[in-house]
Amino acid sequence: MVKSSKDEKLAKEAKESARPEKKPYMQNRELSWLMFNKRVLDQSIDENQPLLERLKFLAIWRSNLQEFFMVRVGSLLDLELTGDVIYDSKSGMTPTEQLEAIYKRVQELTPLASKDYQTVRHQLEAVGIHQMYPDELSIDEDEQVRSYMEKNVMPLVSPQIVNATHPFPHLENGKMYICVRLDDQAEYSKTKNMSKSERKLLRAQAAENVIMGFIPMPANCPRFVPISSEDGTFKFILLEHALEMVAPDIFDMYPVKMANVVMVTRNADLDAYEESDESDEDFRSHMRRILKKRARLAPVRLESERELSGDTERFLRERLGLKRSQVYNTGMPLDMGFAFALPGIVGGELEEQYSNEPAEPQWPASLARKRSIMKQVTHKDVILSYPYEAMDPFVRLLQEAANDPDVISIKITLYRLASQSRLAEALITAAENGKDVTALFELRARFDEFNNIEWSQRFEQAGCNIIYGFHDFKVHSKICAITRRTDEGLQFITQLGTGNYNEKTAKLYTDLSMITCDPVIGQDAAKFFRSMQLESVSKDYKKLLVAPLMIKQQLSKFVDEEIEKAKAGQPAEIWLKTNSVTDKDMIEKLAEASQAGVKITMLVRGISCLVPGVEGYTENIRVVSVVGRLLEHSRIYMFGSDPDTRKIYLSSADLMTRNLDKRVEIAWPVEKEDLRARVVGYFDTMLSDTAKLRELLPDGEYTELCHFVPKDEEGNYLERPIDAQDTLIKEAYIANEHSMAGADFDHAVQISTQVSALQEEAEDDYVVVKAAEEKNEAESFRPEPAPDTEFVTEPVASAVEEDVLEEEPEVEDEPEAEPEVEDEPEDEDEDEPETEDEVEDEPEVEDEPETEDEPEVEEDNDESDDEPEKDLDDEDEGDVAETYVPKHAAPEPEVEAAAEALEPVTEAPAAEAEAEPQPESEPVAEPELEPVAEPEPEPEPEPEPEPEPEPEPEPEPEPEPVAEPELEPVAEPEPEPEPEPEPEPEPEPESVAEPELEPVAEPEPEPEPEPEPEPEPEPESEPEPEIPTAEPTEVIEAPNAQVADAAHTADATPAAVQNPAPQPDPAWDPQPQPGLVVAEPKKRGGIFGFFRRLFRRNK
């Protein structure tokens, strides 16, 4: 016995000696991910967020955590069961130690989330949105709920009981059950005087006699049970709470002692190649078979909405094989997915005031809508910035290629596809048209396996050549190669992206997509697909960097070059934007660079195992994170301080061991000056954020929200916070507006009455525009006589690119921490937990939630290979990521349909103008109406649409009728120079009652007084003192005149991209509100008011 004890001691000492030394500038990846999700949770208490959006961030937080337990915790439990002592290479922790730390941290965060949920719930009640609980219902409301359940739900319920003759049921992963205790159980509170064996015997006897019931949530039943209200408020109760109410009626043969909502989380970590070598089945069938196992894998967590009694909890734990530390009382609904549906159900003014207004991706100003995309990209390289710009141009490119007789082949890698995908349909069409279409499907994209299997079958049936990737490496790269035959020979069009080919997530995740005709990159792309078809990994590429053999090695060389510069006394800088940093080799290399004096700035949305600011190691490294309504998902690597010589690469890979060593990833150079300036400007804009950006401190904690906004001694803001994402959303709108106006004025008016009106509206939403520039712009935009004239986009090719702020990535403020939040998982961690350094990254959200949706916050799920955040990376985590990010609105319309819709709108107004030349005064009851002064006989009043901004508040009453008339007048801006003095704003209100009726003759006398207001106010609109008062709820400060300049100057050159980063308005007069409350927290304002006016005009 003594000998055995001695052996155990020696074995323990041997294991401890093998434990790697923990370096002060590294931290455990699992705990770092939990810090990321905490940043998502913090969005729910940000009073600057609309209330319904805050509820979505709670949903994203829960969704991210669910996926984290399924993937990361599940992997660690598998390692623990092996019995082998495996140490984390960065923290030196064993799997058991990591699990204990995770359980402890989650137990600390759960009560915080519950508190935040109750706070948001009560604030929603204050504005008329009531989520009721059974004990809060009046007698009449109780009867309503029971009646609804009796008619609509009870026939669909399938209850189950548990006793000696009825075995414990299989509780599905992530599904809610109403757990009902049906009999009296033995009490253990009075057993302290019993011996251990007596207590054990009593427990066994009691458990054997237990009778318990379960009510599974019925499928296809609405989650909301409506409750009528006499006071006009919106009331509802969740279905699971209504089921608790009727549980006694369901189990009417038993006495019901307790009812509670419970949910089990199961391990989702599968070995895709388990038994595959011994099986003759094809890989697609094999994947189907092993995926069925996921539903029955071991439980890793039990949750209850309210605290379970000791005996009930013990009974469930014993049946599920869980420890006490794996049981959580959430204090909030177990499935918060209803938060994403609630705004649409509430509808009306409540939805408008307390949720973000949808920001629809814009057509990029660098491309003409009516011209062939293929012809345009053969003359210039293009970068699309999702979701600020739409994916439509790339989809159209594939559609054109599918029908172009000169196109020989289309080859593409597909990691995650939307369930309804125009992109996929274009590829199928190409195959049906006889093109050589090759699609590499990664069937192991976590949580998207079934979707990819279904799509691969459709592709195969259409005649596509299907590749399933490597046995040892997951193909996570995003590349599409189109080959055409021309008179000069073969022509290559190559698209490379940082995110998935998923139209849904392209509206939630921020990604960069480059389309180029560079022949060298085209040859590299062709070589890449040949290697994939032969299942070989090559490093024989001229411009592309392909992992697992090239990316880490080349990035390390770039870092070494900066180290040499620093040692020689030369400026040396590195800028990195990525979802996560976990690779030990890269962390050590960056620490080495820091010690040599290289200045390193890192935008890391999610996990950062590198701890910055540690004296003697990483004091020259700064790590910041941005979590907002969109999930930050692009990867950018820049080396060098000289703008002309710095190396700029975009990539699908994060700085994670799984991406660099275990996946096929691609990084590519950005060489064209205008595109380089745009990438640098984008990076700078993110760093200029003061609303969402948070900095990682040496102790592993992050700064608070709005930490970088100057405050007075009482905590009041001295400047308005800048939200980089909202700034970029608005810039995309303005760039698109002006590119359209510069190309065809008749079409521009469909969004705003005229350019001057847009300028004034933009000023109200933080964009300062000079009056002189306004006048010049309006005069320069003249309608073309031919309605079908093609857009001329050459002069505005880089308009959007110029929106980006100055190149210097040294901006002090940094981007907000990820989504989801916007975390939402993108790249799921499908690799097995890094035993040393790389436990697979969890799938991503939302921000959202959600996915997402989103909100966006927060980790990608679609292609992010990082974490399981809902926003975990969307790429690798399975769109759970920042399901994390709240949903973007509006479904994207077909580009062709949109273009056709533009023409008829302008034609109708023209006809009306001819019929009624006098009704000039009629226009404008609303700002949009003013433009109605279309009558050709009186061109003088027409140029006055500028005053329209004043009636902005009126648009709501009569938005639809006025929409069409407004467009017509736009075509008559030529006479404007003379009639400028004519002000039409005053008469507009009177004519509003009859926007388009012939009686318009009434307003004729009014036009005379109009000239007084218009002429003078326009020239000096710059100061606009109304900015602070117009929308007190604004939380974001968009770029100043620079943004307007970039958007206005359709013919601006790439130099415009170097505009300085957005700066707070010095003239802003803050309201003395403490904490994070800058203005009314619950209502949407600022940029959202701008969008609202924009959309109304569209109607």
Q: What is the DSSP string of 267-335?
A: -----TTTTTTT--S-HHHHHHHHHHHHTTSPEEEEEESSPPPHHHHHHHHHHHT--GGGEEE-SS-S-
Share in percent of the chain as helix, strand, coil (round to 5): 40, 15, 45
In this predicted structure, the answer to whether residue 948 has a pLDDT above a threshold of 70 is no
In this predicted structure, the answer to whether residue 396 has a pLDDT above a threshold of 80 is yes
Q: Each residue of 1087-1098: pLDDT tens digit? A: 555 555 555 555
Q: What does the DSSP 8-state code read for residue 384?
A: E
Mean pLDDT for 999-1008 is 44
Which residue matches tokens 């125009």? Answer: 422
Binding residues for ATP: 64, 509, 605, 633
In this prediction, residue 197 carries a pLDDT of 77
Structural contact between residues 443 and 284, judged by C-beta atoms closer than 8 angstroms: yes
In this predicted structure, the answer to whether residue 578 has a pLDDT above a threshold of 70 is yes
Is 252 or 403 the better-scoring residue by pLDDT? 403
pLDDT band at 3 (very low <50, low <70, confident <90, very high): low
State how far the Cα of 1080 lies from the Cα of 1033, in Å rounded to an integer: 5
Bridge pairing between strands 573-578 and 635-639: antiparallel
In this predicted structure, the answer to whether residue 398 has a pLDDT above a threshold of 80 is yes
The enclosing H or E element of 439 equals strand 436-441
Structural contact between residues 326 and 263, judged by C-beta atoms closer than 8 angstroms: no
Q: What does the DSSP 8-state code read for residue 409?
A: E
In this prediction, residue 483 carries a pLDDT of 97
In this prediction, residue 121 carries a pLDDT of 96
In this prediction, residue 90 carries a pLDDT of 92
Structural contact between residues 67 and 871, judged by C-beta atoms closer than 8 angstroms: no
Top mean pLDDT of 33-37, 929-933, 936-940 is at 33-37
Tell me how many degrees the CA angle 1083-765-735 measures, rounded to the nearest 5: 125
In this predicted structure, the answer to whether residue 844 has a pLDDT above a threshold of 50 is no
pLDDT band at 83 (very low <50, low <70, confident <90, very high): confident
Neighbour-count burial of 73, counting CB atoms closer than 10 A to its CB (0-12 exposed, 13-18 middle, 19+ buried): buried
Is 276 or 624 the better-scoring residue by pLDDT? 624
Whether domain 156-329 has CATH 2.60.300.12: the reply is no
Q: What does the DSSP 8-state code read for residue 498?
A: S
In this predicted structure, the answer to whether residue 800 has a pLDDT above a threshold of 90 is no
With CA atoms as reference, report the closest residue to 854 among 878, 830, 829. Answer: 878
pLDDT above 90 coverage of the chain, percent: 49
Q: Which residues pair with 546 in a beta bridge?
A: 666
In this prediction, residue 657 carries a pLDDT of 95
pLDDT band at 308 (very low <50, low <70, confident <90, very high): very high
Residues of the chain with CATH 3.30.1840.10: 156-329
**Which CATH number is associated with domain 546-695?**
3.30.870.10
Instruction: Work out the number of other CB atoms within 10 angstroms of the CB of residue 628.
Output: 38
Neighbour-count burial of 156, counting CB atoms closer than 10 A to its CB (0-12 exposed, 13-18 middle, 19+ buried): exposed
Top mean pLDDT of 441-445, 680-684, 1026-1030 is at 680-684
In this prediction, residue 453 carries a pLDDT of 77
pLDDT above 70 coverage of the chain, percent: 61
Whether domain 373-533 has CATH 2.30.30.100: the reply is no
Q: What does the DSSP 8-state code read for residue 69?
A: I
pLDDT band at 205 (very low <50, low <70, confident <90, very high): low
CB < 8 Å & 24+ apart, contacts of 319-324: 319/168, 320/171, 320/264
Mean pLDDT for 128-142 is 95
State how far the Cα of 182 lies from the Cα of 187, in Å rounded to an integer: 15
Q: Each residue of 324-348: pLDDT tens digit? A: 999 999 999 999 999 999 999 998 8
Q: Which residues pair with 883 in a beta bridge?
A: 849
In this prediction, residue 460 carries a pLDDT of 86
For 240, residues 6+ apart whose C-beta sits below 8 A from its C-beta are 176, 178, 217, 261, 305, 333, 334
Is 294 or 990 the better-scoring residue by pLDDT? 294
Q: Residue 484, SS3?
A: strand
Instruction: Work out the number of other CB atoms within 10 angstroms of the CB of residue 957.
Output: 11
In this predicted structure, the answer to whether residue 587 has a pLDDT above a threshold of 90 is yes
In this prediction, residue 457 carries a pLDDT of 83
Q: Each residue of 273-287: pLDDT tens digit? A: 444 344 445 545 545
| Joined tokens for residue 546 | 């392909």
In this predicted structure, the answer to whether residue 56 has a pLDDT above a threshold of 70 is yes
In this prediction, residue 446 carries a pLDDT of 67
In this prediction, residue 14 carries a pLDDT of 64
Is 192 or 339 the better-scoring residue by pLDDT? 339
Binding residues for Mg(2+): 416, 446
pLDDT band at 195 (very low <50, low <70, confident <90, very high): confident
Mean pLDDT for 28-55 is 95
Residues of the chain with CATH 3.30.870.10: 373-533, 546-695
In this predicted structure, the answer to whether residue 79 has a pLDDT above a threshold of 80 is yes
In this predicted structure, the answer to whether residue 988 has a pLDDT above a threshold of 50 is no
Least confident residue range of 29-33, 284-288, 753-757, 1031-1035:
753-757
Which parts of 572-628 fold into alpha helices (H)? 584-596
In this prediction, residue 194 carries a pLDDT of 72
Laid out side by side, the sheet with 224-227 consists of: 129-132, 234-238, 224-227
Q: What is the widest separation between alpha-carbon atoms in the chain?
A: 112
pLDDT band at 1049 (very low <50, low <70, confident <90, very high): very low
Mean pLDDT for 373-397 is 96
Bridge pairing between strands 474-475 and 663-664: parallel
For 334, residues 6+ apart whose C-beta sits below 8 A from its C-beta are 62, 176, 240, 261, 262, 263, 303, 305
| Joined tokens for residue 813 | 């403020």
State how far the Cα of 940 lies from the Cα of 69, in Å rounded to an integer: 68
In this prediction, residue 594 carries a pLDDT of 98
Mean pLDDT for 1029-1048 is 37
The enclosing H or E element of 117 equals helix 95-126
Q: What does the DSSP 8-state code read for residue 160?
A: E
Mean pLDDT for 226-235 is 90
Least confident residue range of 6-20, 365-379, 869-883:
869-883
Least confident residue range of 161-175, 280-294, 793-807:
793-807
pLDDT band at 480 (very low <50, low <70, confident <90, very high): very high
In this prediction, residue 473 carries a pLDDT of 87
State how far the Cα of 111 lies from the Cα of 951, in Å rounded to an integer: 48
Mean pLDDT for 138-145 is 96
In this prediction, residue 738 carries a pLDDT of 84
Top mean pLDDT of 453-462, 1038-1047, 1052-1061 is at 453-462
Mean pLDDT for 379-402 is 96
pLDDT band at 20 (very low <50, low <70, confident <90, very high): confident
Structural contact between residues 476 and 653, judged by C-beta atoms closer than 8 angstroms: yes
State how far the Cα of 98 lies from the Cα of 26, in Å rounded to an integer: 15
Backbone angles phi, psi at 19, to 5 degrees: -65, 125
Mean pLDDT for 146-158 is 95
Backbone angles phi, psi at 609, to 5 degrees: -80, -10
In this prediction, residue 211 carries a pLDDT of 80
Mean pLDDT for 553-578 is 97
pTM: 0.70
In this predicted structure, the answer to whether residue 591 has a pLDDT above a threshold of 60 is yes
In this prediction, residue 1 carries a pLDDT of 43
In this predicted structure, the answer to whether residue 201 has a pLDDT above a threshold of 90 is no
With CA atoms as reference, report the closest residue to 372 among 463, 464, 480, 484. Answer: 484
| Joined tokens for residue 661 | 């060593």
In this predicted structure, the answer to whether residue 85 has a pLDDT above a threshold of 70 is yes
In this prediction, residue 80 carries a pLDDT of 86
Tell me how many degrees the CA angle 1055-1058-1061 measures, rounded to the nearest 5: 155
Mean pLDDT for 1006-1029 is 42
pLDDT band at 637 (very low <50, low <70, confident <90, very high): very high
In this predicted structure, the answer to whether residue 920 has a pLDDT above a threshold of 70 is no
In this prediction, residue 840 carries a pLDDT of 43
With CA atoms as reference, report the closest residue to 65 among 272, 339, 261, 303. Answer: 303
Mean pLDDT for 1011-1021 is 43
Mean pLDDT for 359-376 is 93
For 754, residues 6+ apart whose C-beta sits below 8 A from its C-beta are 748, 778, 781, 931, 945, 946, 970, 973
Mean pLDDT for 757-774 is 36
pLDDT band at 760 (very low <50, low <70, confident <90, very high): very low
State how far the Cα of 943 lies from the Cα of 985, in Å rounded to an integer: 12
Top mean pLDDT of 442-451, 639-648, 757-766 is at 639-648
Backbone angles phi, psi at 645, to 5 degrees: -115, -5
In this prediction, residue 292 carries a pLDDT of 52
In this predicted structure, the answer to whether residue 231 has a pLDDT above a threshold of 80 is yes
Active site residues: 476
In this prediction, residue 777 carries a pLDDT of 43
In this predicted structure, the answer to whether residue 819 has a pLDDT above a threshold of 60 is no
Instruction: Work out the number of other CB atoms within 10 angstroms of the CB of residue 15.
Output: 12
pLDDT band at 428 (very low <50, low <70, confident <90, very high): very high
Mean pLDDT for 869-896 is 40
Mean pLDDT for 295-318 is 90
Least confident residue range of 273-282, 315-324, 659-668, 1038-1047:
1038-1047
pLDDT band at 764 (very low <50, low <70, confident <90, very high): very low
Q: Residue 213, SS3?
A: strand
Upstream peptide bond of 548 is cis (omega within 30 degrees of 0) = yes
Per the prediction, the chain carries an average pLDDT of: 74
